[in-house]
Structure 1
């Protein structure tokens, strides 16, 4: 099958966006006189979404890992690759939560203590012992000075640091204590062991990455109370950030990283959450991967569903089948149905690949939807791009994948072409933008960020 032209991709994405809006509006149409005409409602919703984005602006959020500093990935890499010009925001991963429910550094050496040499520094000068802070925090400050429109946000939690979220969100007192500590540390810049306010002005807000409310995640304590407590925690943060913003004469950002899986998302009050945060970064990746140890091979971040997908479909008796059929389109439609507006949704792009081994070519010779005998170690995009094999672009799902018949290895990932189709989808539906995990997976010349970035 020949590769779809840009015109055909644009038309397909536009039609899909209209279908998503129709699905999202349908449940409330009967109850709303303004939505009595489905055709008018879809057009009105699309126009409203576009207008909202015009006023709020598209975002391209790149995750910068705290630990990258140990493997030679510094903030300066974003300058040399040109990626920083395509980003509107950097989310720094991660802040921990201490057992007492307060924000705490997961690695203070990487955050503000490790000296950075001149060759690795954004401004070309080496850190000295006279500085109050060094490490990543000082490099983020230098990056922000060089690119004043760039926002820097502290992300709290993540897969490994979400252990104490449930307790921190449990009561009005614990929520207030958590929010106050995070604002004191990252907004007011009061880091332990250094002069008060030494880190002030670096961070423009916080992102909450609780993985996941009322779900075990990485072996985390959890319970049904988490669902509403998550909403209340965000509201407390919003209130305290707004108070800090009034005192400083500015507005601080609050975002949340949200699950794509329908089971995890079902434990979140999507509508209320979307009205509290500036927007939600919905983690539209890891749909399929190496936890499915024998396959079948499938896509980890496909834009559209496919009738050929062998994964189980949702049924009334099993609405959340394990490793079931899923796509970015379906995830966005689900969030819209639950009350989120398009301009509160940013979709996510993986800068890494999942892989399977022992994969037969199958009837089309490309290894797609075939069983596997084992799994490959996850690798970054800059590594999978150099792996042997043929790159394929599925014309149905919009997904990229690579198959090597010699080693019988199958990789699922995003590349510039599949990302460009997602950008078309974002624009057609009036979504807020995109987010990626993580920037160190890109090539030295920033191929992926250049494909997905809305920065100027």
Structure 2
């Protein structure tokens, strides 16, 4: 039975944060903890041989640094400071051994061949204790290029917004391991397709049949604009070769050295040329080389006194490919090859990996390659995860937008699990995070390369009938609800201020809001939902989670929930 949740959303968020900090609200057998500790002790041989200094609250530790504390050796899973070893089950320290003094290696002795034993009858067993993710989990989010306008969200706001982590007010930037900058576009150029910089309104949203559909860009916001607020509090000099979001991202990294920035290519509106650019080896090389030259080597075109060779060098640590979608299913103006996109996507990832490695050899640095991928089973089937996965650092599985105002009945847009009462049929019946991850793993993608997507926005309808349960779920509607920026969608920071009755669905685990008969119905994630999803990330041993997008958050509340739930 569902429980209506009314009252102060901030109080609910605080309770969720406390639960997530303690390991979430899920059931975790005591034997799981014992197994983890036992595994840590059994794999401690390398750790005990190291010279591990005593832990200090003032010191900063990074991945694989070891310390001794209370007679035990611990190794850092990620960047940490002032986190006491051994006090947090899901904290930054991994127990290596309880005997810090190295033990001499005994003389090997022959091991007798064991006597075979009969194979027991198989019985159902619990999910095995996950192997810890090396180096800790990846927690990221997207920064939208256009957020600096209507939403008035600057890169500097990532730096200045703070939420509590272990009782200390901590910048949102320190609660992320990476940020994807959305988006860069590709254009027909020099007989093929290349990354480039233009400032041109995108017409595809309002007129997908326009010849210019999919060819927009905003170089002004990217590297020419003077921000309203800056990371270092200083105005950008008029003659600086780099300004706009790119400069602020570079300054953000300097202030938060554990943060990486990736340029994201494509997205829903700008995936027009991927299929055409991936058709041949020569075209793939041309595209990848141009993108690496522009965003990794940093060679920006000179426009309005900004740009030049190396102007953006050091801004980006890798490239995120957001091709929506190989084989079709995206904008109607996209180039599509329903037969060859599947393997060409793999070949394109291989080429980007090769070009990034070539630039990395010059720079003495490894650059990351990731991809944002569709979560529908039919989208996953249009690619080759077992093949292209070898080239990726990880994939961002877009486990949201499963349902929305384009449909006639209400439904959850980011459910964790399938609800048997959901009237959806066909592919839509498996539109949920768990089924998406199951399909992706079955197709050959390693779990430690999968990031779960978390929306910082909701989707809603208007004119919603109450239905037999009075909650508007799976009921007829009058179309997409009015949104602050777009019909059928609103940011979390807007939704928390809407009046109505809220429920946490017991099966899908998502929150929904209903304003009453004939009113609005919205589904979205709040800190409580995110705590459950992050417990799932841990239980499934996934690489981490990412969100879309930072400017939808409410003073860092959702980012904080993802971070403390990792």
Classify the TM-score, shorter chain: 0.7 to 0.9
Correspondence for 1:89 among 174, 178, 186: 178
Mapped to 1, the partners of 2:312 and 2:274 lie a distance apart of 24
Determine if contact 1:154/1:205 at 8 Å carries over to the other structure. Answer: yes
2:357 equivalent to 1:252: no
In the TM superposition, residue 367 of structure 1 has moved relative to its aligned partner by 1.2
Over alpha carbons, which structure has the higher Rg? 2
Match of 1:20 in 2: none
2:287 equivalent to 1:178: yes
2:200 equivalent to 1:103: no
SS of corresponding position for 1:453: helix
Do the aligned partners of residues 75 and 389 (structure 1) sit closer, same or farther apart at CA in structure 2, a change above 3 Å counting? Answer: same
Correspondence for 1:298 among 403, 411, 416: 411
In the TM superposition, residue 41 of structure 1 has moved relative to its aligned partner by 11
Do the aligned partners of residues 389 and 12 (structure 1) sit closer, same or farther apart at CA in structure 2, a change above 3 Å counting? Answer: farther
In the TM superposition, residue 363 of structure 1 has moved relative to its aligned partner by 2.6
SS of corresponding position for 1:155: strand
Could you list the runs of 5+ residues in structure 2 that have no partner in the other structure? 6-15, 31-120, 163-171, 198-216, 482-486
Mapped to 1, the partners of 2:295 and 2:282 lie a distance apart of 20
Match of 1:18 in 2: none
In the TM superposition, residue 348 of structure 1 has moved relative to its aligned partner by 0.4
Aligned-pair Cα RMSD in Å: 2.4
Please list the CA deviations of residues 351-397 of structure 1 after superposition, one character each: whole Å capped at 9, or x if unmatched: 11111112122232221121212221211111111112112101111
Correspondence for 1:203 among 298, 316, 325: 316
SS of corresponding position for 1:110: helix
SS of corresponding position for 2:262: strand
Correspondence for 1:212 among 322, 325, 329: 325
Match of 2:442 in 1: 337
Correspondence for 2:401 among 286, 292, 317: 286
Match of 2:264 in 1: 155
2:392 equivalent to 1:277: yes
Match of 1:61 in 2: 140
Mapped to 1, the partners of 2:147 and 2:535 lie a distance apart of 31
Match of 2:459 in 1: 354
Correspondence for 1:307 among 420, 432, 435: 420
In the TM superposition, residue 168 of structure 1 has moved relative to its aligned partner by 1.0
Moved more, 59-68 or 73-82: 73-82
Determine if contact 2:535/2:565 at 8 Å carries over to the other structure. Answer: no
Mapped to 2, the partners of 1:369 and 1:455 lie a distance apart of 30
Count of residue correspondences: 416
SS of corresponding position for 1:133: coil
Do the aligned partners of residues 275 and 86 (structure 1) sit closer, same or farther apart at CA in structure 2, a change above 3 Å counting? Answer: same
Mapped to 2, the partners of 1:406 and 1:78 lie a distance apart of 39
Do the aligned partners of residues 116 and 13 (structure 1) sit closer, same or farther apart at CA in structure 2, a change above 3 Å counting? Answer: farther
Do the aligned partners of residues 243 and 39 (structure 1) sit closer, same or farther apart at CA in structure 2, a change above 3 Å counting? Answer: farther
Determine if contact 1:216/1:222 at 8 Å carries over to the other structure. Answer: no
Correspondence for 1:221 among 318, 335, 357: 335
Mapped to 1, the partners of 2:122 and 2:423 lie a distance apart of 37
Mapped to 1, the partners of 2:266 and 2:490 lie a distance apart of 23
Match of 1:169 in 2: 278
Determine if contact 1:60/1:454 at 8 Å carries over to the other structure. Answer: no
Determine if contact 1:65/1:438 at 8 Å carries over to the other structure. Answer: yes
Match of 1:113 in 2: 224
In the TM superposition, residue 239 of structure 1 has moved relative to its aligned partner by 1.1
Task: Return the TM-score normalized by structure 1.
Answer: 0.86
Could you list the runs of 5+ residues in structure 1 that have no partner in the other structure? 15-35, 315-319
Correspondence for 1:421 among 522, 532, 557: 532
In the TM superposition, residue 275 of structure 1 has moved relative to its aligned partner by 1.8
Please list the CA deviations of residues 13-65 of structure 1 after superposition, one character each: whole Å capped at 9, or x if unmatched: 99xxxxxxxxxxxxxxxxxxxxx97868953xx54xx23x1x14211111001
Determine if contact 2:154/2:227 at 8 Å carries over to the other structure. Answer: no
